[in-house]
Amino acid sequence: MTAQIISGKDIAKQIREELEQEIAELKEKHNIVPGLATVLVGEDPASQVYVGSKSKTCQSLGIYSERYDLPDTTDEQTLLSIIDRLNKDPKINGILVQLPLPKHINENNVLMAIDPKKDVDGFHPVNMGKLMIGEPDYLPCTPHGIQELLIRSGVKTDGADVVVVGRSNIVGKPIANILLQKKEGANATVTLCHTGTRDMASHTRRADILIVALGKPKAITADMVKDGVVVIDVGVNRIGKTDEGKSILCGDVDFEAIKEKAKAITPVPGGVGPMTIVMLMSNTVKATKLAAGLV
């Protein structure tokens, strides 16, 4: 069997077109333009690329955006006062602080300073808590993108054995929470594996749907999955450079070998990555509608 390749690129394009329509309607009917502020501290090249594509996508969709690129030496108080200003700015519906932050800044202090209504990343404890009780306003972008990939490519989660590898606050914990909700596109039996897991392969081999976000190139090999598995690879690992100086990327799973065994699999790049940005835009539109009392 050769797997169906789940194209995040194509599905993200579909969602972008739906959002374009929604944004045009907001403008026409209500004269409202959604606004997103991105905040980047430091010069990490990968983060610069992510934030750059977030601003570019805003522009192409008709979302107003403000970009704050701050030096690595920025202190916590300065960052908190920028967030305070953005919290109060009616043009701004969503605030995104790119992670990771430099070590001298306390990440939790910063995430907790964002007004939960403008927390389009869904990382504020209020939004994490709402997700946990099944009443989310904003789902974190990468996990939300994964759920959309599954739904839109016809993968049934109801009753499925889902195994998640990696327990980060950004991906592992929220996707586990999303997929165990008693809802459409969820209702799975979820196992969350991590660095403390004994005999990882005994879990991954049971998975109907395997979601991997552990940050190690090709850590999941073909002998660790069963025939007919659906694999969602969240990893983005830079394993070298082309002659032209472009990064060579690979995921956390051995794509070439596993695609011969799987029913469906996401590629890297072009799988989960494009979904994260489009779900951020979707959350920004939702924040705008919530602020205007339209939902």
Residue 258 in the binding site for ligand GUN (CB under 6 A): no
User: Per rule CB under 6 A, is residue 180 in the interface with ligand GUN?
Assistant: no
Closest CA to 165 of 208, 206, 200: 200
CB of 268 to ligand GUN, least distance (A): 15
Name which of 37 and 225 has its Cβ closer to ligand GUN.
37
Near ligand GUN in 121-160, by CB under 6 A: 121, 141-142
CB of 171 to ligand GUN, least distance (A): 8
CA angle 36, 42, 47 (to 5 degrees): 60
Pick the binder of ligand GUN from 58, 97, 225, 265 (CB under 6 A): 97
Q: Which helix (H) or strand (E) holds 281?
A: helix 273-291
Task: Return the number of the residue (177 or 276) whose C-beta is nearest ligand GUN.
Answer: 276
- Which span (90-98, 158-166, 207-215, 263-271) binds ligand GUN, by CB under 6 A? 90-98
Contact region with ligand GUN (CB under 6 A), list: 20-28, 97-105, 125-133, 178-186: 97-105
Determine the interface stretch with ligand GUN among 3-11, 24-32, 93-101, 242-250 (rule: CB under 6 A). Answer: 93-101
Q: Collapsing DSSP states into helix, strand and coil, what is residue 180?
A: helix
> Are 11 and 273 a contacting pair, CB within 8 Å?
no
Q: Are 166 and 215 in contact (CB under 8 A)?
A: yes
Which of 37, 150, 170, 224 binds ligand GUN (CB under 6 A)? It is 170
Q: Which is nearer to ligand GUN, 98 or 204 (CB)?
A: 98
Residues 6+ apart with CB under 8 A from 250: 217, 218, 235, 237, 239, 268
Do residues 171 and 143 lie in contact, with contact meaning Cβ atoms separated by under 8 Å? yes
Does position 181 interact with ligand GUN (CB under 6 A)? The reply is: no
193's enclosing H/E stretch is: strand 189-193
Q: Is 249 in the site for ligand GUN (CB under 6 A)?
A: no
Q: Please compute, for residue 157, the number of CA atoms within 13 A of its CA located in the half-sphere on the CB side.
A: 29
| Minimum gap (Å) between residue 32 Cβ and ligand GUN | 24
Write each residue from 275 to 294 as x if it is in contact with ligand GUN (CB under 6 A), else as -, in one continuous string.
-x------------------
Q: Which residue is closest to ligand GUN by CB?
A: 99
Q: Closer CB to ligand GUN, residue 61 or residue 97?
A: 97
- Binding segment for ligand GUN (CB under 6 A), chosen from 25-33, 59-67, 96-104, 127-135, is 96-104
With tokens 């951020």, the residue in question is 280
State the DSSP string of 32-73: ---EEEEEEES--HHHHHHHHHHHHHHHHHT-EEEEEEE-TT
Number of residues that bind ligand GUN (CB under 6 A): 9
Pairing of strands 247-250, 4-5: unpaired
Q: Tell me the Cα Rg of the chain.
A: 19
Active site residues: 54, 98, 121
**Residues of this chain that bind ligand GUN (CB under 6 A):** 96-99, 121, 141-142, 170, 276
